Amino acid sequence: MTVFADFGSTWTKIVDSSVRILRTKDVPRDIIADIACGHNAKIRSKRCINELIALCEGGLRLIDEKDFLLVDVGSRDIKYVIYKDSRFVETGWNQECGASQGFAVELLEMYYGLDYNELEPIENGHPVTCGLIGISRIFDEIIKTGNERKAIARFVKGIATNVYHFTGKPKRMYLSGGLCDNRLFIDSLPCDVLPLGRLVLIEGLKEIHKRTSL
Amino acid sequence: MKVGFVGCPPHDIMREYESEELIDLDNDLGRVEEKSDLYLPKISCSVIKRVFNNALAIKPQKIIFDVGEGKCDSGRFLSWILKEHFNMDIIETRNQNRRGRGTVICDSRLPLKRKFELILNNVIENRDFKLEREPHPKAGFWSVPCWDSRIFDLFPDGTTILGWTRCFENGTPDDLELECYAREDIPTVFYAQTFCSKNLLAKNLARVYRGLYVDCDGMLTASVEAKIEAFLYLRGAVR
């Protein structure tokens, strides 16, 4: 049984005969994947694949269109790929300025005990380019207004706007990663969003494995 | 006598000092004390910071500083600061040469790292090379000499060099037309140091020639490395 793994900074996706999504800090040290990408993949797998290449291959496998933009919003970064006429044209990976945005969304959910699916999107967001700076803005707003829900919705809107700008203000995007389950984030993006779930990179790894083991 | 130089000064003045110990202050000269953080703004590019640190650490008796359009405003201002505030003996030049000596190294089959070494050292050595031309380069690299030379290892042998480094080999550092030369049929990475005004060119040339635009502040980051690796793979330059 081939073991595929996407070692994210905070969440690890492991697929063999089952699908496991674990906190990265809880992944047993003895797990060595056959083919993997992400955080520590070089030392935790027999074959390490560049995450952008895995994202491209996952997109090609899951999206039945010749032209598409696929963006993966992770815990600490944003990556995207653009295909036109089934040919790769552009990629971007924002690790520095997208720092910890996804992780900040998760921390806030835990701290305030929120359900993002119950929050209403807001029109104007905070200009958020970094999770930590964004959190500081939230605290400022909560001190001023006392409205936690509105402050957090504004933060999420800011993150969504940042993703939208980073990917070149598309009319439509396919979304990969944990934020696919976050309705507030999806509704805060000012374009059509088609969520593909958390296993897009794993699908890419499967495609690469299939092609190279023939 | 130690004579530092910055940018690509005119050939004639370099010859005047060829019997001296010529030191390229744009280059990595090993461990030197970091003083730029005390005197230069954080938003200075890594190469300007390096020139400053090298100048203060090496203390050349003279510095030949090309401050023409072939360098940049930051370089011109730094030259003034070194002269006026640090009492350094600066010879300012403006290299407007248009008699190109050719781009044999840029277009050769050599590995990218070797090409950069030869081009940069040749300002001092002034050799004529006979190298086999790569007729079908798999990739292109548009840039100035990079702060972190590990970036060169990501590219296949024979990658063609474009941008200011090409102008540098040609001895025509302010030739904007040559600097903006690129080819759409060669997957090209357009690279600039963060905070360098060449980012304007890099981003727009990448758009026009369907290349990859990257900027990097000093050390090569994992995301920049991954972007270049993926771009070259997905465009068929490496397997």
Polymer length in residues for chain B:
239
Q: pLDDT-derived band of residue A172, with 50, 70 and 90 as boundaries?
A: very high
CATH of the domain at B35: 3.40.50.11890
Q: Of the candidates A50, A37, A90, A27, which has an alpha carbon nearest to the alpha carbon of residue A199?
A: A37
Give the pLDDT mean for A117-125: 83
Class of the A1-63+199-214 domain? alpha beta
Cβ(B166)–Cβ(B103) below 8 Å: yes
Q: pLDDT-derived band of residue A49, with 50, 70 and 90 as boundaries?
A: very high
pTM of the model: 0.86
Closest partner residue to B234 (CB to CB) among A51, A53, A96 is A53
Q: Are residues B230 and B145 in the same domain?
A: yes
Type of residue found at A126: H
- Domain presence at residue B105: no
- Residue B219: pLDDT above 90? no
Residue A126 burial by Cβ neighbours in a 10 Å radius (0-12, 13-18, 19+): buried
Question: Looking up tokens 């720092």, which residue turns up?
Answer: A99
Cα separation of A202 and B7, whole Å?
A: 47
**How many Cβ atoms from other residues are within 10 Å of residue B197's Cβ?**
12
Give the pLDDT mean for A27-37: 93
| Confidence (pLDDT) at A97 | 56
Residue B1 forms contact with A (CB below 8 Å): no
Q: Cβ A56–B210 below 8 Å, yes or no?
A: no
Cα separation of A20 and A97, whole Å?
A: 30
Architecture of the domain whose range is A64-195: 2-Layer Sandwich (3.30)
> First-to-last CA distance in chain A?
16
Q: Are residues B161 and B74 in the same domain?
A: no
Q: pLDDT-derived band of residue A139, with 50, 70 and 90 as boundaries?
A: confident
User: Is the pLDDT higher at A3 or at A9?
Assistant: A3
B10 contact partners, CB below 8 Å, separation of at least 6: B66, B93, B95, B97
ipTM: 0.80
Q: Of the candidates B210, B115, B121, B207, which has an alpha carbon nearest to the alpha carbon of residue B156?
A: B115
User: Is the pLDDT higher at B165 or at A40?
Assistant: B165
| Confidence (pLDDT) at A99 | 56
- Show which of B93, B127, B147 is a domain's final residue: B93
Cα separation of B12 and B45, whole Å?
A: 29
Give the pLDDT mean for A23-48: 91
Residue A201 forms contact with B (CB below 8 Å): no
- Domain presence at residue B107: no
Give the pLDDT mean for B56-67: 97
Q: Are residues B122 and B84 in the same domain?
A: no
Cα separation of A147 and A153, whole Å?
A: 10
Domain map of chain A by residue range?
1-63+199-214, 64-195
Q: Are residues B125 and B220 in the same domain?
A: yes
The pLDDT tens digits of the residues spanning A195-213 come to 999 999 999 999 999 998 8
- Residue B228: pLDDT above 90? yes
- Domain presence at residue B68: yes
Residue A48 forms contact with B (CB below 8 Å): no
Give the pLDDT mean for B132-143: 97
> Per the structure, how many domains does chain B have?
2
Domain with B80, as residue range(s), is 2-93
Residue A9 forms contact with B (CB below 8 Å): no
User: Is the pLDDT higher at A131 or at B181?
Assistant: B181
Q: Are residues B86 and B117 in the same domain?
A: no
| Confidence (pLDDT) at B33 | 93
User: Is the pLDDT higher at A208 or at A113?
Assistant: A208
SS (H, E, C) A141-153: HHHHHCCHHHHHH
Type of residue found at A20: R
User: Is the pLDDT higher at A139 or at B177?
Assistant: B177
- Domain presence at residue B8: yes
Q: pLDDT-derived band of residue A110, with 50, 70 and 90 as boundaries?
A: confident
- Residue B145: pLDDT above 80? yes
Share of chain A above pLDDT 70, in %: 94
Cα separation of A143 and A194, whole Å?
A: 36
Q: Are residues B118 and B220 in the same domain?
A: yes
* A64-195 matches A1-63+199-214 in CATH topology: yes
- Domain presence at residue B104: no
- Domain presence at residue B98: no
Cα separation of A131 and A100, whole Å?
A: 5
Cβ(A52)–Cβ(A33) below 8 Å: no
The pLDDT tens digits of the residues spanning B24-35 come to 999 999 889 999
Measured between beta carbons, the chain A residues lying within 8 angstroms of B212 are 90-91
| Confidence (pLDDT) at B177 | 97
Helix or strand or coil: residue A75?
Answer: coil
- Domain presence at residue B99: no
Give the pLDDT mean for B54-83: 96
Measured between beta carbons, the chain B residues lying within 8 angstroms of A50 are 226, 229-230, 233
Residue A187 forms contact with B (CB below 8 Å): no
Residue B221 forms contact with A (CB below 8 Å): yes
Q: Cβ A93–B227 below 8 Å, yes or no?
A: yes
Instruction: Tell me the CA distances in angstroms from A186 to A179, A193, B141, one per residue in order.
Output: 8, 7, 38
Polymer length in residues for chain A:
214
- Domain presence at residue B102: no
| Confidence (pLDDT) at B163 | 97
B31 contact partners, CB below 8 Å, separation of at least 6: none
- Show which of B93, B128, B146 is a domain's final residue: B93
User: Is the pLDDT higher at A147 or at B200?
Assistant: B200
Q: Of the candidates B163, B141, B152, B162, which has an alpha carbon nearest to the alpha carbon of residue B114?
A: B152
Give the pLDDT mean for B190-213: 95
Q: Are residues B89 and B137 in the same domain?
A: no
Measured between beta carbons, the chain A residues lying within 8 angstroms of B235 are 88
Cβ(A204)–Cβ(A58) below 8 Å: yes
Q: pLDDT-derived band of residue A98, with 50, 70 and 90 as boundaries?
A: low
Share of chain B above pLDDT 70, in %: 100
Q: Are residues B56 and B164 in the same domain?
A: no
- Show which of B93, B123, B153 is a domain's final residue: B93
Q: Are residues B77 and B178 in the same domain?
A: no
**Please, which residues bridge with residue B108 across strands?**
B133
Q: Are residues B54 and B135 in the same domain?
A: no
Residue A54 forms contact with B (CB below 8 Å): no
**Please, which residues bridge with residue B161 across strands?**
B141
Q: Any idea which of A20-29, B61-70, B108-117, B151-160 has the lowest mean pLDDT?
A: A20-29
Q: pLDDT-derived band of residue A77, with 50, 70 and 90 as boundaries?
A: confident
